[in-house]
C-alpha cells in the first residue's frame, strides 16, 4: 500500500512541477511556487522513510501559511494530506481531504479529473453509492463524453449496489463492448457484474449469453455448470445435457449436486445407461451419498437401461434404507420380467411382509404369475385368490385365475392321457 501511495504522490509532484511551467498556457491557474513545492516534497520524503506522523506534521506546518497560498497550492496541500491518510488506511479522512482538492478553484484540469475519479473509487469502496455517482457526474463534466467509458464500470457497480439494475445495464454493456471491439475481452469481473444485472432483471436468456462469453474467455468449471443450469431454466434440455456432458469430460464436475444434475439430464434425456454409470461411479468415489434418493435414481436408471442385475442390486440396497415394501415390490416386478421366478416370489413376499404397500394386491399377482410360469398351479391359484381381495388387483386376478384353472385342467388331462 505504501509503495502505491508513494508512487502516486511522486507522480503528483512531477505533474505539479510541470504545471509551474505550463499552467498559464492551458488555463488561468496560479503557479505552484518552488517554496511550497519543496515543503510538500519534504513532507512526502518523511512519509516515504516510514515516519508518516512527521510527514503529516510537515504538512501541518505548510497549512499554517494557508492565507498566503493560492488555490493551486492549497489543492496540492489537501492532495498530499489525502494520500498520506490513504496510506494509513484512514479512508474517511482521505476522502475528506480529496474533496477539499476539487473544491479549490481554479486548479489544473488534470488534477481535478484525477481527484474526482479517485473520490468516486473511494466512495464506492466505502459503500457510498450516491456519492460515487455524484463524483462520476462531476468527473464527466470535466472530461466530456469522449472519455465516459472509463467510468462505465464504476457507474454500473454503484447503480447495481443501489438496486437500480436497469440503469446499471447500459454502462457495463458499453464497457464490455469497447473491450471486445478488436477481439479482446473485458475484465472477468465485468462479465460477472453484467450477469448479475441480467439475473436481477429476470432476463434469463441474456444471462445465458453472458455465460457463453465467460466460458469462451475464462473457461472456468463453475461457468459451465451455471450455463447448464440456465439452459435448464430456459427449457433447452438438449443444450443443458450437452454442456454438462462436455463439462464432465473435462473433469469440471466434481461436486455431488453437479453430478446429480448430469445423472438426471441423462435419465430424462433418454440415456439411462450413462445415467447409471455416472451415478455408480459418483457413489463409489464418495462424491454422492448412498442415500435412499440416489439409490432410487440409480435403480431407475438401470431398470430403464434393462440392466437387470444392477437394477436388482440397487433396489436391494435402497430397500434396506426404506421403511416400506415398495422397493422390494419393484424388485419383484423386475425379476418377474426377467423370468427369475423364484427370486421374484421371494421379493414379493418380502414386500408383503414389510407392508405399507400402495398396491398390495399386485404382489399376490406377481407370486401367482411366477408360480404359474413354473407350472405350480395350486400355489398360483391360491395367490390369485388372495389378490382378488384387493381392489387394485381384483379384475386382473380373476382373469389370471381363469387362465390358471384352464392351464391346470389341461395339464391334468395330458397327464391322464400319458398314464393310460
Do the domain assignments include residue 375?
yes
Do the domain assignments include residue 365?
yes
Q: Report d(CA 164, CA 157) in Å as an integer.
A: 10
Taking only the tens place, the pLDDT of each residue in 325-380 is 999 999 999 999 999 999 999 999 999 999 999 999 999 999 999 999 999 999 99
Do the domain assignments include residue 283?
no
Domain limit, last residue, from 144, 171, 188: 144
Backbone angles phi and psi of 154, in degrees to 5? -60, -45
Domain limit, last residue, from 144, 167, 183: 144
Do the domain assignments include residue 389?
yes
Do the domain assignments include residue 156?
no
CB count within 10 Å of CB 291 equals: 11
Q: Report d(CA 181, CA 395) in Å as an integer.
A: 73
Domain of residue 109, CATH code:
1.25.40.10
pLDDT tens for each residue of the chain, 420 residues long: 344 344 444 344 444 444 443 443 456 888 889 888 899 989 988 988 888 889 999 999 999 999 999 999 999 999 999 999 998 889 999 999 999 999 998 999 899 999 999 999 999 999 999 999 999 999 988 888 777 778 999 999 999 999 999 999 999 999 999 889 878 899 999 999 999 999 999 999 999 999 999 999 999 999 999 999 999 999 999 999 999 999 999 999 999 999 999 999 999 999 999 999 999 999 999 999 999 999 999 999 999 999 999 999 999 999 999 999 999 999 999 999 999 999 999 999 999 999 999 999 999 999 999 999 999 999 999 999 999 999 989 999 999 999 999 999 999 998 888 876
Do the domain assignments include residue 107?
yes
Cα–Cα distance list, 157 to 133, 194, 196, 218, 315 (Å):
10, 10, 11, 21, 52
Do the domain assignments include residue 317?
no
Residues spanned by the domain of 132: 35-144
The grid cell for 240 is 443443458
Taking only the tens place, the pLDDT of each residue in 298-339 is 999 999 999 999 999 999 999 999 999 999 999 999 999 999
Do the domain assignments include residue 343?
yes
Domain limit, last residue, from 111, 144, 177: 144
Q: Tell me how many domains the chain contains.
A: 2
288 CB contacts (<8 Å, ≥6 apart)?
A: 256, 259, 260, 279, 282, 294
Query: What is the pLDDT at residue 27?
Result: 60
Domain of residue 392, CATH code:
1.25.40
Query: Which residue in this structure is represented by grid cell 444485472?
Result: 197
How many residues belong to the chain? Answer: 420
Amino acid at each position: 500500500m505504501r509503495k502505491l501511495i508513494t508512487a502516486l504522490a511522486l507522480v503528483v509532484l512531477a505533474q505539479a512541477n510541470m504545471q509551474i511551467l505550463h499552467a498559464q498556457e492551458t488555463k488561468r491557474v496560479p503557479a505552484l511556487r518552488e517554496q511550497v513545492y519543496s515543503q510538500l516534497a519534504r513532507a512526502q520524503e518523511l512519509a516515504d522513510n516510514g515516519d508518516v506522523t512527521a510527514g503529516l506534521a510537515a504538512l501541518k506546518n505548510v497549512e499554517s501559511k494557508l492565507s498566503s497560498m493560492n488555490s493551486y497550492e492549497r489543492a496540492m496541500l489537501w492532495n498530499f494530506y489525502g494520500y498520506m491518510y490513504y496510506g494509513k488506511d484512514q479512508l474517511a479522512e482521505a476522502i475528506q481531504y480529496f474533496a477539499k482538492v476539487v473544491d479549490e478553484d481554479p486548479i489544473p484540469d488534470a488534477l481535478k479529473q484525477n481527484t474526482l475519479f479517485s473520490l468516486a473509487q473511494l466512495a464506492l469502496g466505502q459503500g457510498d453509492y450516491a456519492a460515487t455517482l455524484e463524483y462520476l457526474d462531476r468527473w464527466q463534466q470535466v472530461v466530456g463524453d469522449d472519455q465516459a467509458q472509463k467510468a462505465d464500470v464504476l457507474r454500473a457497480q454503484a447503480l447495481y449496489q443501489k438496486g437500480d439494475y436497469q440503469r446499471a445495464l447500459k454502462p457495463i454493456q458499453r464497457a464490455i463492448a469497447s473491450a471486445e471491439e478488436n477481439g479482446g475481452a473485458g475484465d472477468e469481473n465485468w462479465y460477472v457484474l453484467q450477469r448479475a444485472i441480467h439475473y436481477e432483471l429476470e432476463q434469463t436468456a441474456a444471462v445465458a449469453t453472458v455465460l457463453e462469453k465467460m466460458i469462451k474467455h475464462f473457461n472456468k468449471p463453475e461457468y459451465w455448470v451455471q450455463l447448464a443450469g440456465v439452459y435448464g431454466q430456459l427449457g433447452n434440455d438438449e443444450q443443458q445435457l450437452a454442456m454438462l456432458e462436455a463439462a464432465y469430460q473435462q473433469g469440471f464436475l466434481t461436486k455431488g449436486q453437479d453430478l446429480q444434475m448430469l445423472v438426471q439430464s441423462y435419465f430424462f434425456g433418454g440415456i439411462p445407461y450413462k445415467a447409471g454409470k455416472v451415478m455408480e461411479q459418483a457413489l463409489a468415489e464418495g462424491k454422492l451419498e448412498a442415500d435412499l434418493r440416489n439409490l432410487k435414481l440409480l435403480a431407475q436408471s438401470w431398470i430403464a437401461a434393462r440392466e437387470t442385475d444392477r437394477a436388482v442390486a440397487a433396489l436391494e440396497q435402497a430397500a434396506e434404507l426404506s421403511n416400506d415394501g415398495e422397493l422390494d415390490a419393484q424388485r419383484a416386478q423386475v425379476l418377474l420380467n426377467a423370468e427369475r421366478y423364484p427370486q421374484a416370489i421371494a421379493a414379493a413376499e418380502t414386500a408383503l411382509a414389510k407392508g405399507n404397500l400402495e398396491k398390495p394386491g399386485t404382489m399376490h399377482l406377481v407370486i401367482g404369475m411366477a408360480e404359474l410360469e413354473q407350472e405350480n398351479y395350486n400355489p398360483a391359484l391360491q395367490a390369485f385368490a388372495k389378490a382378488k381381495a384387493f381392489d387394485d388387483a381384483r379384475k386382473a386376478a380373476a382373469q389370471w385365475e381363469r387362465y390358471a384353472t384352464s392351464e391346470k385342467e389341461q395339464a391334468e388331462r395330458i397327464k391322464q392321457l400319458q398314464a393310460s
